[in-house]
Every structure is written in structure tokens, then in C-alpha cells.
A and B are shown apart, each in its own frame.
Chain A
Amino acid sequence: MPGIITSILFLPMLGGLLLLFAREDARKGSGSVRAFALAVSLATFALSAVMYLGFRADYAGMQFVEEAAWIPRFGIAYKVGVDGISLLLVMLTTILTPVAILFSFEDVRKKTRLYYMSLLFLETGMLGVFFALDFFLFYVFWEGMLIPMYLIIGVWGGSRRIYAAVKFFLYTMAGSVLMLVAIIWLYFASGVGTFDILAHFREPVDAALQPWLFAAFAISFAIKVPIFPFHTWLPDAHVEAPTAGSVILAGVLLKMGTYGFMRLAMPLFPTAAREFAFLIICLALVGIIYGALMAMVQTDVKKLVAYSSVSHLGFVMLGLFSFNLLGASGSVIQMVNHGISSGALFLIVGFIYSRRHTREIEEFGGLLRVMPVFSTFFIITALSSIGLPGLNGFVGEFTILLGAFERNAWFAVFAATGVVLSAVYMLWMLQRVLFGEVSVRANLGLADMNRREWLVMLPMVALMFWIGLYPKPLFERIEPSAKVWLSQVNRRVLRVEKAPERKLRKSALAYAQRVEVK
């Protein structure tokens, strides 16, 4: 299927550009802009589904690779491809975008044209990050998608939207410029003479340089994930963003950080990754527990969900830095799972917010009596987030825990605390919002889910059950690539351990460093 990736990648952008010639949706309940945007995003999903079906599960390398010269002087090319790791994240993106657009039909009333343009541009940006096989291309998408996200938070967000948007932008930007320095440095230091990511995998990086470069990449990705203590932008951005923005932010954007660790930082600098592994695992464990504790004390449902993201992404980091197959494939699954369940939770928060214009837990209670269908969806989603067996969350967290246990039992013990805590804050929240008597009069007349809301939630719930009950096809696609990844991160570059000898290393062992030993 030649050109399939390029079509998937640029179809949303093309749709966004065509919207320039459209007229604003003025009235409630009708509009061609949003219908067009939905059609474009569904067509993108259809194309990506074609790609999914054509993906060869038995092949570990990059598939559907396309390459074209872009800036030959610097060895920069337009090179895209997909493997088992990025495939699922691409699918996640193409599924969540139409869902987010469909949700926005009633939610967004002002400046609709700019809004849907931003969402479609954002989709291209996110897909580009997952598809890119060239550092420069990767960076262009990585930074380029900040702008539409910034607009989505800043124009259609809540009352403190400008503060949240600027904070989001500056945090992410501060991290990513350091990555830019590291990319250029790597380009000159490696002598490969190209920005092709795959070519850099083949060329081991000088062990003395690795910690610096790894740190620069890692800070950039750690801010995006976010790993404790770089998480402070996240609650603000999530709470202030419009619902669709939160869905995309939690569902896909955060995964770009973990994906960056997996695709770039760890396989490029394996030695440094192992040196930093303990630190990062500790931070991940702190994040798991801290995120859960913070979620527990929130009075705002949306903020609760936001902090739960900090906790859940800690699991992904834990899995990655376990350096084993279970951890790695569990992490990929967990990235997808978190995208689905936290996306769905934000949608649910969006449903009650559009009815009551508040998200305070105290304002609710006994919703089960008033909105039974809604409550059912809410319970399923919350259980999926907790990790109930049979639903998707369990598959990822359990695999990661196995991987962590294999590395060090204590890691698994601490992480398991996080699972318990997540049950505490989720179930407690469910109890206060759904069960009991209807405590606030305003909730008595609330309408249950309408047809559009059904349509929004159905694919999410279907995915939760599918991944929860039958994750085999996903694992089959992940594992070959995860094995390749594992061999990359486990390779060792010979180095001298003792401190006094460090000075000699550069001259005497300069050649030896290039030699790989298993």
C-alpha cells in the first residue's frame, strides 16, 4: 500500500486547510463545518484501519516505510513508517479524534471553524510524531502540534484558560528545545551525517556523551508524560481545556512522552538509560502513589481524573524501565488503555458538566436514580481505569507489574499500592456522585444520555471490553517490535567503570567504545 501513511498523516491537515473556505457554524444544532471535520476524521480512521489490517504481525521492523528527500544538505528526509509500537498509538489517535469532534458538536459554539481546524491540525501533528523516522521531522511535528493545542486550551477553555495554555506551552517548549540541542549534537557527534533515526540506532553513541544526550531527551519527554516532579502543568491544562481538548491531551499527547522514551531516548542511549533507570523508576513510583493520593483529595471530578493520569503513566514508565519483554509490551498496552479509559472519563465529566456547569463532587449524588444509562457507562469506565479483570486496564497494569516484579520485587510492591489506591479514589468518587439519595434538587431533572452521547461512548466501551477480554491480537503485533526494542536497549557499550581511569579512556579506549558486546 504505497503512500498509505502519507495519506493518513496529511488528510486531517488537508481537511483543516479546506475549512478555511467554509462558513462558521452559527446556529445551534446545525452546521457544515463540524460535519465536515467529523467526516475527515472518520475517513482518516478508515484509512488507518486499512493500514491496521495490512500490517504484518510477524514482521518486527518498520512497515509501509516511505522516504523522500527533504533537506539533503543536512541529511534530512521525509521518512515515515510504522511498527508494532507505534501502530497502536496511531490507531488510538485516529479513534479518539472523531470521538472528540463528535463530542464537541454541542460543546463548542464559538469560532467553530478555527476550533475544528485546530483539532484536525492537531491530529496531523500527533500522527506525525508517531510516524516520523527522521529526527528533524519528528521535532517539527513534536513542536508544531503545540500551537493547535495551545489554541484549543486558550480559546475554548475554562476561566483560567490563558494561564493554563501559556503554562502548558512554556513547560513543553522548555523541555523540547533542550532535545533540539541534543538532536543536533548527536548529529555531529555520531558522524552518521543524517537525521535518519534508524541509521542512528545502528551507530552506538559514545558512552561519555550518552548521559548528557539522554538527560536532554529525557527532560523533554518527562515533562510531556509527565513524570513527577514535572507534572505541575498537567492539572491546570486538563482542568481548563475544553472536554475534547482534555480527551486528546490525556488520550494521546501524554503518550507522546512515553513513546519518546521508548522510541528515541532508551534505544539511542542504552547505557545512560540503564544508569538513570533506578532514578526514573523511583520517580515513576513516587508519581504512581503521589498521583493517586492527590486524586483522592480532589473535590473537582476533572482534576481527580487529571491526577489519576499522573498515577497511570507512572506504570508505563515503570514498565519501560524494567528492561524486559513483559514490561515493554505491557507499557504499550497500558498507553493505549490509559488513552481509552481516561479519554472516556473526561467525556463523562464533560456530559455532567454540560448539564450542570459544575464539576464539584459535592454538587452530585444519587445520579444513578436520575440517569441510569449514564451511570452504567460511568461505572464501566471507572472500573476500566481501576483495572478490573475483564476490562482493558487490568491487562496493561498486570503485565507491567509482572515485568517490574521480574526486575525487582519491591518495585512491584510499591506499584501495586498504586492499584489499590486507584480503586480507593475511583470507587469513593463513584459512591459520592452516583449512589445514595439525590442530594441536590437541581439534579432531579437531569436528562439521561442522548443519541450523540451514546455514539461517543459506544466505541470507547467496546474497546474496553475488547482489549480486556481478547488482547491477544494486540500483543501479537507489539511483541516482535518489542523484542527488537529490547535487544537495542540491552546492548552494552564497553566502558571503564573506575573513576581515576576515566581520563585515559578518551585516548586509549576511543576505538574500543565503538565495539559492541552483548
Chain B
Amino acid sequence: MDIVYPTIHWGYLLPVILPVCGAVLVLMWDAFLARGERSVIIIISLLTLAAALGVTLGARALPGLAASFGGMYLFDGFTQFLYVVILFASIFAVLIAAAQRELDDTPAGEYFGLILFATSGMMLMAATRNLLMIFVGLEVFSLSLYVLAGYLRARPEGNEASLKYFLLGSFASGFLLYGMALVYGATGSVDLIEIATRLHENPASRGAAFLMGLGFMVVGLGFKVAAAPFYMWTPDVYEGAPTAVTAFMSVGPKAAAFAAFFRVFLSAGDAGGSFDAVLWVMAVLTMSLANLIAIWQTCVKRMLAYSSIAHAGYLMVALVASRSSAELATSGFLYYMLVYVFMNMGAFCVLILISNMREDGSTKLDNLAGLASFRPGLAAAMAVFMVSLSGLPPTGGFVAKFHVFSAALNGGYVWLTVIAVLNSVVAVYYYLRLVVVMYMREPQGGEVRRAPHPGWSYAAAALTLAVASTLQLGIFPSSVLDFAHRSTVFFN
């Protein structure tokens, strides 16, 4: 029997290898060299992530060279852009964790090690055409996040978050795996290109088993991106987890899971057509429910949790449009995701700095009252993020929404677009309420003017990067838009 050795392009693997090595190094460093040296560990994590980002940006996804390990690992244009998204998300996750006071007394090695492991998992999930690899990637980052969600062990909310996320997450993983098994049963392959070919050639393979399989996969992935009706866990988990982890959870897993969503549905092609209506309804429900509930929140962290669900809804719009308007929808999704990293991470960063000012670290809306009069810079940054999250010009959020809505209209989904834009009006109400509270109310006192946290320079770096990128992506979007359009190359 001949053994076929798979082709491996090590250069393309480097962006994943680096964070894994970084994670091991961080763990070892913490265990043997300098117990409690947070700054060294933070810097190692940042360096490995920055190196991975550099390699990703420097790489050129070449046709024909994309697949390694027989398609288990795939570095195509789509992967490249998502790597940028995920790595930026992780860099922010490290920066803002370094600035969060509540995390000061927790073991640093494990925390940042887990962040790096989660990063590698997300990257793997985005960079494959193999269903099993999608699952492996998903489990790698999910397990890291289960632990991170309960990282503040003394807090009951943290334990609740962790347990809830773990139980429901495993349940969803089960659905996903079952769905994959059914798809395998119907088509005889776990490779998406193979699946696409067989679906095309053999109409019998598009039967009930395949559709059921696809349906279960929608449930599993829908859980990870927090789409309605599978979003119930999100607010509690997001609120209970440490803020820095919440920020990471609201961005990274979304990018990875949506990547899988796009890959699966684009390869299913017409065979997945019967799911258009399902995804349509899910998109509408996700946006509308999340926005309506977000209005009533008085805790900023919980509000941002619902806002992240709503944004998953807008991304679902891109997914719905991806069959009829593939290029616009995919590039729209990529651009939206990148903008979302900057604006959402930035908002969470401000939130962390505000909760640092208080003894109890609370994130109530009232704590922001009059922020503009005693921390004008912080308030201005938050205002920029809120404007961008609302999708108003001249910020990246506007161009991203414009792009996704263009895709939907081009695909013929007029009513879906109308519902989406009306949703963004509802969203403006609660985003701007933060501006109201910061600029139009008087400070109510109670914030402890403590000495600045030693990690404030990390937060400052994160905020500068986030504000600059949010504005740049809104005012001069052209070069990144071109990058996103070049990145709509799949499997090749």
C-alpha cells in the first residue's frame, strides 16, 4: 500500500505556530523563571501575536499552494484576512487584560497562555476546508474560553458564567458534530470541496440526511456566533466573565464561527438553498430581539453583550446574501468583522478603565455620568466607538454597514435590508444613551481617584490604535476594502 505524504507549506503555518509556541513559552516562563512577573509575560504574548500578524500580512496567498495536510489546513485569501481579524482581537485582548485591575492578582501565565491557545484554535477553525478540523479548532478555543470565563474564581457570577458556557457549549458542539456526521453520511466526505462536488454530481446526496446535517450545523455554529434563538447564554456569560475575556469572546469566536458558516454554505451552494429562509429569519430575530432588549439594560457590560448579539445579526445578513451576491457579501463580512474588532474592543477597553476607577469595579451606566468633564479623552474615545457601533459616518461602522447592506440589496433582499437599517435606528438609541450620560449629565461622585493602574500604558496603546483604526476605516477605507475584496478567494 502506498502512503501519500501530504504537502505541507510550513511558511503558511507560521501564523498558527507562533501563538502556540508563545503560549507554551508563557506557561513555562511563569512556572519556572519568574513567578508573578506579569509584564514579561504580557510582552512575550504581544510579541508572538505581533510576529504572527506580521507574517500574515507579509504572506501572499498563492493559488495552488493554499492547502497543507490535504486540505486540513488552508491558507487562502479568506484565511489571511480572518487571521488579521483574529490576531488583532487577541492583541487587544492581551492589552486590555493587562490594564484590568481585577486580574492583577490572578496567575498571569495561565491567563495569557489560554488567550494564545484560544487564538490558535480560532485561527485553525478559520483556516480549513475539513469539517473535522473545523470541529477541532472550535473545541480548542472553546475549552480555553470555558476556563477564562470563570477565571475570577472567587466571584460566583464568574463560576455561573463558566459553567453555563461549558454546559451549553458542549451541547452545541454535540449538535455540530452530529450535523457533520450526517453530512458525511449523505455525501461520503468531510472535505468541503469533495462535498461540494458530490452534491453537484449526485442529486441523491442532497436528501433529508444532508439537510438535517446542515440544520444541526446551523444550530451548533449559531450557538457560537450567538445568533437567535441560540443566544440565551450570551448575556449571562458575557456579564459574568472578566471584562477583558468578554471583549475577546465577543469578537474572536464570532470571526472563527462565521468563517466556518461561510465556508460550509458557500460549498453547499444550491443544495443549501432551502436554508435561505431559515437564515433570513435567524438574522431578523437576532437583530431585532437583541436591539430591543439592549434598550432596557442599565449595566454597560450587559448592554454591550446584547449589542454584540445584534452585530451577529448584521453579519447574518451578509451570510444570507452570500449565495446570491457572494463577493460583496463575503468582503462585506470581512470588513465588518475587522471594524467590529476595533470598535468593540475599544469600547470594552474604556469600560475596563472606568471600572478600574471604582472600588467595586462595577460597570453600571450611571458610573459614566459626566465622564466628559473629568476624563474628556476617555469620553471622546467612547463616543467614537459608540458612533461607530451605531453605524454613523464618518466611522468604520458606517462603511461596514454600507458594505453589508449593499451586498444584501444586490442579492435582492430589500426587506431584510430595511429591517436591518431600522434596527440600526433602534440601536442608536442605546448607544447614544452612553453619550448622553457622559456628556449631558453631571458627575455623581463615587469614582475613586486611585493611582493609575500600572497597565495604563497598554490601555492607552489599545485605545489609540482602536480610535485611529475606527476613524481610518471610516474616512479612508479604500485600501482595506481592496484587501477584503482580494480575500474573497476560497479554497484556492
Contact = CB atoms under 8 A, between A and B. Distances in A.
Contact of A146 (B392, B402, B421, B482): B392
A181 B481 contact: no
Contacts of B246: none
Contacts of B417: 181, 184
Interface in B415-436: 417-418, 421-422, 424-425, 428-429, 432, 435-436
A144 B384 CA distance: 12
Contacts of B429: 166, 170
A178 interface: yes
B400 interface: no
B422 A174 contact: yes
Contacts of B421: 177-178, 180-181
A180 B402 CA distance: 8
Nearest to B428: A173
Contacts, number: 85
Contact of A188 (B372, B392, B402, B409): B409
B409 A185 contact: yes
A147 B422 CA distance: 18
Contacts of A166: 429, 432, 436
Interface string A151-183: 100110000011001100110011001101100
Interface residues of B, number: 31
A139 interface: yes
Contacts of B482: 73
A352 to B, nearest CB: 26
B440 A174 contact: no
A181 B425 contact: no
Contact of B436 (A70, A165, A185, A188): A165
Contacts of A161: 440
A155 B440 CA distance: 5
Interface in A128-149: 136, 139-141, 143-144, 146-147
B392 A143 contact: yes
Given A155-B439, A166-B429, A181-B405, A70 B393 contact: no
Given A74-B406, A114-B372, A170-B428, A144 B418 contact: no
Interface in A190-204: none
B107 interface: no
Contacts of A103: none
A150 B432 contact: yes
Interface residues of A, number: 36
A181 B417 CA distance: 7
B465 interface: no
Given A150-B432, A155-B439, A73 B478 contact: yes
Interface string A44-86: 0000000000000000000000000111111000000000000
B409 A184 contact: yes
Interface in B267-301: none
B477 interface: yes
A161 B439 CA distance: 12
A188 B411 CA distance: 10
A221 to B, nearest CB: 17
Contacts of B373: 111
B398 interface: yes
A139 B436 CA distance: 24
B439 A154 contact: yes
A174 B387 CA distance: 15
Given A147-B387, A184-B405, A185-B414, A177 B393 contact: no
B394 A144 contact: yes
B422 A73 contact: no
Interface in B337-392: 372-373, 387, 392
A255 B406 CA distance: 29
A147 B440 CA distance: 14
B415 to A, nearest CB: 10
A184 B406 contact: yes
A144 B390 CA distance: 12
Contacts of A144: 392-394
A74 B478 CA distance: 9
A224 B400 CA distance: 25
Given A150-B432, A181-B421, A140 B406 contact: no
Interface in B184-213: none
B485 interface: yes
Interface in B422-468: 422, 424-425, 428-429, 432, 435-436, 439-440
A173 B432 CA distance: 12
A154 B481 contact: no
A143 B393 contact: yes
B478 A72 contact: yes
B394 A140 contact: yes
A74 B405 CA distance: 13
A335 B140 CA distance: 64
Given A143-B392, A169-B432, A177 B422 contact: yes
Contacts of A180: 402, 405, 421
Contact of A71 (B372, B435, B439, B481): B481
B68 interface: no
For B393, B394, B417, B482, the residue with the greatest tally of chain A CB atoms inside 10 Å of its CB is B393
Contact of B428 (A70, A151, A169, A185): A169
B392 to A, nearest CB: 5
B170 interface: no
B440 A170 contact: no
Given A170-B429, A174-B422, A184-B406, A139 B439 contact: no
Nearest to A141: B393
Contacts of B410: 188
A193 B439 CA distance: 42
B374 to A, nearest CB: 12
Contact of B424 (A150, A165, A177): A177
Interface in A70-124: 70-74, 111, 114
Given A154-B440, A165-B436, A169-B432, A143 B425 contact: no
B296 to A, nearest CB: 16
Given A140-B398, A146-B392, A162 B409 contact: no
B337 to A, nearest CB: 18
For B398, B429, B440, B477, the residue with the greatest tally of chain A CB atoms inside 10 Å of its CB is B440
Nearest to A110: B373
A185 B406 CA distance: 8
A152 to B, nearest CB: 11
A74 B372 CA distance: 37
Nearest to B403: A74
A190 to B, nearest CB: 13
A140 B422 contact: no
B91 to A, nearest CB: 27
Interface in A3-33: none
Contacts of A170: 425, 428-429
A59 B346 CA distance: 50
Contacts of A184: 402, 405-406, 409, 417
A138 to B, nearest CB: 11
Interface of A: 69-74, 111, 114, 136, 139-141, 143-144, 146-147, 150-151, 154-155, 161-162, 165-166, 169-170, 173-174, 177-178, 180-181, 184-185, 187-188
Given A144-B394, A174-B422, 9 more contacts: A71-B481, A140-B398, A143-B398, A144-B393, A155-B439, A162-B436, A170-B429, A177-B425, A181-B414
Interface of B: 372-373, 387, 392-394, 398, 402, 405-406, 409-410, 414, 417-418, 421-422, 424-425, 428-429, 432, 435-436, 439-440, 477-478, 481-482, 485
> Nearest 5 CB-CB pairs, A to B?
A177-B421, A140-B393, A154-B440, A144-B393, A174-B425
30 contacts: A69-B478, A71-B481, A72-B478, A111-B372, A140-B393, A143-B393, A144-B394, A146-B392, A147-B387, A151-B439, A154-B436, A161-B440, A162-B440, A165-B436, A165-B440, A170-B428, A173-B392, A177-B421, A178-B421, A180-B405, A180-B421, A181-B409, A181-B417, A181-B421, A184-B406, A184-B409, A184-B417, A185-B409, A188-B409, A188-B410
